[in-house]
Amino acid sequence: MAGSNLDQFIADFRLVWTYRRQAGHLSAAEHEAQYGAARVEANARSADPAWVESESRRYRALAAQNESDQ
């Protein structure tokens, strides 16, 4: 994955998780646990281009939805 695409994935990942917490979808404890688990998985699977591409598309769609909701 090219650097700018990876940067977009990271930005979308952060935006989605921040939105979930700020919108009240998750308690602080839920957010900490779920965000932490998602980060661990993303870091562990970052060498798998197919997974990264799939998650990038998923998080871009979620981020776009969150942006339109705001």
Q: Per residue in 26-44, pLDDT tens?
A: 999 999 999 999 999 999 9
The alpha-helical segments, DSSP class H, found in the chain are 3-22, 28-45, 49-69
Q: Residue 2: pLDDT band by 50, 70, 90 thresholds?
A: low
pTM of the model: 0.85
Instruction: Tell me the two tokens of residue 64.
Output: 């776009």
- Mean pLDDT confidence for 3-18: 88
Residue 3 has a pLDDT of: 64
DSSP state of 1: -
Q: Residue 19: pLDDT band by 50, 70, 90 thresholds?
A: very high
Q: Which residues contact 45 (CB under 8 A, 6 or more apart)?
A: 51, 52, 55
Instruction: Tell me the two tokens of residue 44.
Output: 């562990």
